[in-house]
Structure 1
């Protein structure tokens, strides 16, 4: 079946409004969208819902694409390949320049791991697959969103995937039934399915709802429905003014009243999208708000402004000026300047040249540049960020920072029980990855060389009966955490009662949610009783407290139990921050205030204190060894104590050896006092 319909127009069709007609109201909506998104990302102007500007862009794209495809199909001259080429001429050149410039800047500014990550992001951005990459990264070991220089390209990837699919679907449907109603029906069916999926996924898998086309397509399809159904409404002037005012009110309410706590996209996303569709349907092309010169200037350059604003946000984050008003003002002005230069020197010239050059030559040239840029990005990845660029002191620091617990793959990732030290087991250490990160400290504290520590740990695993963990499906018996929890009772039962049990976990994560470096992850409790909960309600916290204490006391009836206070979460990737500071000539030190630590972990301290009061469990406190009176240290004097934002490395773990020495001093005392 040919994807190129006959040039002879079909009869009996209502001809829609021409799609290539320039409309100042559409340009005005582009301006509103890019201003909202940009100010939101720079934390300026109280636009807490400025992220909805992306949704406005989606509706506009769907409206324009439905116009181009629908009009072409009804005229009988639509070409899928010509459509793809038109989109490529519009989108690729400016994106290519931004990726190339960011990679060049990264060579000068970024530490090896950061630069390797940037190379991977640039490669996926140029392939229009970055939304899938960022979805995969929105997990346990993710880095701060503002450290991702090309994060904003996720929306371009979603749009490009939509551009690939929509003309194929509509062309095939038109071949079967060449009626305008066919286009409406396809749009409506896909819109309904996508919206339902979006609302469902936002509740269960919000990251997927945010990043993936199937859950976002309804926004663009809404724009398409608006074109197909509302292009020629013939409303009187008063009704059009009211429709436009209502639409602008919905968009404005979304931008000013929503914030990051909203489940997004989900059930609230129809506010800005419906508002945009109302403005489009009103067709008040000469409305005073959109005809102003500044509005039209912003709208015309909205694509370039969008492309350039986020790398500048990342640059502020990288240089430590993210909250500095003067630096933010300078970055905003630079956004406008780069947007203008990109529009004048990249968008306009390449669009003209690619439109007038011989098609085959132009396609080959643009494709060659994209392949070359993608290849260079891949070279950065394969070269691991070119560490040879770095001064020797930074390379030494990063190598030291990544020295962790030996046999981590075997003993943590696979959840196998491991002995560290000699065969004479003096203590059992159980928990999650935090337990694995400090086992060598416990080993160092052992009095004799022939003695050992038995470790049983699994990633993101709280070994408390009655509590289930989000990351570990309950119905998978071979899951690492589930297997450990199932086998632990027998292992504890086989161990002599004199052998103490030390429990180390990232405890606050389970009742409260993550407090790490990923600012996009929804902060939800990671443990639950019967079904996952979205907020740490008082009822949930009481249930957690009861189960935690009951388990600790049940263990304490069998042997000495030691609960370790939460290890400080530094909230930034320590080696990366220290590398940046060293590159910038600043003191390579990373700290967290004691006040922030106490605010984060006060609840868990209270639960552990109640367990001690209930049944005499022992408490081990790492703070005297990692903190002073005012702050906790992630690294100082050129030495990192953490491998990331929350896991101690070998150097950090060694600091806790004196803490564990108390366990063996107590054990020695108990053995000396035991009757002979």
Structure 2
């Protein structure tokens, strides 16, 4: 529609960039700003400091149309739960408005060279955007989801339809074929709701299904067709009129509800149904009393609108800056409680910079001058980031040992697999380098640790009680595979083959195989702060042991099947599960938080693990 309006004005020679931007602003800003202002009060009341700081950045990003950039920057391995971000949905407005800031300028430049060249230029940009999106789906999935360059082709699909009709295009297609293609398009548009899930690498080529479906609906749903009658019905037209308001209101309502019910999982179905009804009511009120009046120049002059919009933007940006400078309004919480939480969150291995490699860094094997302890027995602790803090504290319980720590974040000590993210392309080379280096060092024992489940499943851990992490590691076997089942089988086979090979090469050296450290699902410091700020008794956080067992069964069975005399097994579940509460795995107890996020052990958690590990390792030294 918007492209059609631009082209019509260009044909008449009456297109005004200033008027176009004002029309877009009148359509978007009033309701957006009202919703954003209203979100401030519940955010201030409910959000803990780290989430309030993120919300403060959203207050600055929304009027700047940079929400998509903000949420892209916050995405990744240590991302906060997206479902709890009240203004998360504004990322798509950021993409849309960035597009409409640039698209008219592109039209103005290309128009001088004729419509044919305009078509060619837009087609070239769309194809490049689609191919870039396909590449980024695996190489940079967060950027692929949030940023304009990989999303532009989707919006261009509508622009091509407008260009086709602007040039006088007519579809000489029989009514029966239009009927079929319209229904097919609607089916394609809706099918993604059922065949895509939270792990689908979207957009990429997966987005072709709904995008092409939408194109078919627009092109072939002419008057008289089934889809036309459906979409032009009173109910659907009414939904369309309220769609923008419903879009604005739904995420804040759902996010604050989920935030309140964080310990119970999803909010009750009855509450969600009431929130949907409230969303529709608020959408109607927004349209009636905010959107429609602000679109009318007779009610709100251009001068008044511009001043009002600019003032609202300045206030939002200023409020966001103040809240961010205040570190998320930390004064609302007990300083002692914040000290406990921040102590856990910031409990990172002090030698991680020299002992562990992170994504995008030039990898290095452990330096000979860096180790933990002064003992004579040399132990190599080798794994991903989940062993960091435990490696640093192991020496406290093994005074006879000297601990060498080799780590690469999100890179298991396994040959025969590789991660398909560009930043982790050195993972396999790092594994080979450590393997070769270990042969020359004369170690007395090797400890292998990894987040085994994550590499096999390539899915987000769900504790079944509302805690779902937001990060996926995407490993594949070096061997050929054709589907997800074969990919998983290939990873498990690599576990068995690689660990067996290591045990054979280093025989009779003891190899200690550390099984999966229980995952939390929740960000433990966050959940602890919410619970402790309301509780009158000491906090005890835990998750279901049965969920841990089920999630880790395939990887644990693969490790169990390795039959080598020099392999000994260490079970972290013995530290956290079935200790305080039968059938539960403890995450935090009293003033001790055992995790610094949703899966990495904190100093307290690592100390408990190190003590247990030492009890298993000490007899062989």
- Shared fold per TM-score greater than 0.5: yes
Q: 1:595 aligns to what? A: 546
Determine the structure 2 residue equivalent to 1:550.
500
Post-superposition offset of 1:228:
2.9
Shift of 1:591: 2.2
Conserved? CA contact 1:570–1:645, under 8 Å:
yes
Hey, what's the Cα distance between the residues in 2 that align with 1:469 and 1:254?
Answer: 27
| Cα distance per residue 1:238-260 (max 9 Å; x no partner) | 46656544443443444455555
Contact 1:135 1:208 in 2 (8 A): yes
Alignment of 1:618-629 (within 5 A): 618-628=568-578, 629=582
Which runs of structure 2 are paired with 1:330-341 in the superposition (5 Å)? 330-341=274-285
Aligned residues: 594
Structure 2 distance, partners of 1:580, 1:273, is: 41
From the superposition, tell whether residues 124 and 552 of structure 1 become closer, same or farther in structure 2 (CA, over 3 Å): farther
Larger displacement relative to structure 2 (327-336 or 386-395): 386-395
Sort the Cα spacing of 1:384 and 1:325 in 2 relative to 1 into closer, same or farther, 3 A: same
Q: Summarize the Cα distance change of 1:533–1:115 in structure 2 as closer, same or farther, 3 Å threshold.
A: farther
SS of structure 2 residue aligned to 1:142: coil
Query: What residue number does 1:107 align with?
Result: 44
**Structure 1, unaligned stretches of length 5 or more?**
1-63, 669-676
Residue aligned with 2:513, SS: strand
Query: Aligned-pair distance for 1:222?
Result: 1.8
Deviations 1:461-480 (A, max 9, x none): 2233444344576776xx8x
Report the counterpart of residue 360 of structure 2 in structure 1. none
Q: Report the CA distance shift for 1:257/1:101 in structure 2 as closer, same or farther (over 3 A).
A: same
Which whole-Å deviations, capped at 9, do the CAs of 1:272-316 have from their partners, x for residues lacking one? Answer: 333333443344399543454443332112111101101222122
Cα pair 1:464 1:551 within 8 Å, conserved: no
Between stretches 594-603 and 619-628, larger displacement belongs to: 594-603
Contact 1:549 1:610 in 2 (8 A): no
CA distance in structure 1 between the aligned counterparts of 2:472 and 2:181, rounded to whole angstroms? 38
- Aligned position for 1:265: 203
CA 1:368 to 1:409, structure 2 compared with 1: closer, same or farther past 3 Å?
farther
Corresponding position: 1:165 with 2:102 = yes
What residue in structure 1 maps to residue 361 of structure 2? none
Give 2:272's aligned residue: 328
Pairing 1:572–2:522 present: yes
Query: What SS does the aligned partner of 2:259 have?
Result: helix
> How far does residue 187 in structure 1 lie from its aligned partner after superposition?
3.8
1:170, 1:483 → 2: CA distance? 49
CA distance in 2, matches of 1:520, 1:401: 18
Corresponding residue number in structure 2 for 1:457: 407
Q: Tell me how far 1:640 sits from its aligned partner.
A: 1.7
Inter-partner Cα distance in structure 1 for 2:429 and 2:536 = 45
**Larger mean Cα displacement after TM superposition, 375-384 or 484-493:** 484-493
Give CA deviations for 1:371-422 in whole Å, capped at 9, x if unaligned: 3312322332232212111134531431342252441443445565432233
Correspondence 1:436 to 2:436:
no
Distance (Å, rounded) in 2 between the aligned partners of 1:395 and 1:261 = 34
Alpha carbons 2:345, 2:596 under 8 Å: kept? yes
- The two structures, once aligned, show a CA RMSD in angstroms of 3.3
The aligned counterpart of 2:223 is: 284
Name the CA distance, whole Å, in 1 between partners of 2:419 and 2:3: 45
Q: Distance in 2 between matches of 1:289 and 1:475?
A: 50
Q: How does 1:140-289 map to 2 (within 5 A)?
A: 140-177=77-114, 179=115, 181-202=116-137, 205-230=140-165, 233=170, 238=175, 244-256=182-194, 258-260=196-198, 262-281=200-219, 282-284=221-223, 288-289=229-230
More deviation, 420-429/614-623 = 420-429
Counterpart-to-counterpart distance in 1, 2:198 and 2:73: 21
Is this contact kept in 2: 1:102–1:311, CA < 8 A?
A: yes
Task: Compute the displacement of 1:573 (Å).
Answer: 0.7
* Residue pair 1:411, 1:456 contacting (<8 A) in 2 also: no
| 1:347-366 alignment, distance < 5 Å | 347-352=291-296, 356-359=300-303, 362-366=305-309
1:563-619: per-residue Cα shift (whole Å, max 9, x none)? 1111011111111122222345487443222221112222332233233x2233111
Moved more, 118-127 or 311-320: 118-127
Name the counterpart of 1:559. 509
419, 422, 435: which is aligned to 2:371? 419
Q: CA deviation at 1:318?
A: 0.9
Unpaired runs of 5+ residues, structure 2, are 358-363
Match runs of 1:480-491 below 5 Å: 482=429, 485-487=432-434, 489-491=436-438
Q: 1:112 to 1:258 in 2, by over 3 A?
A: closer
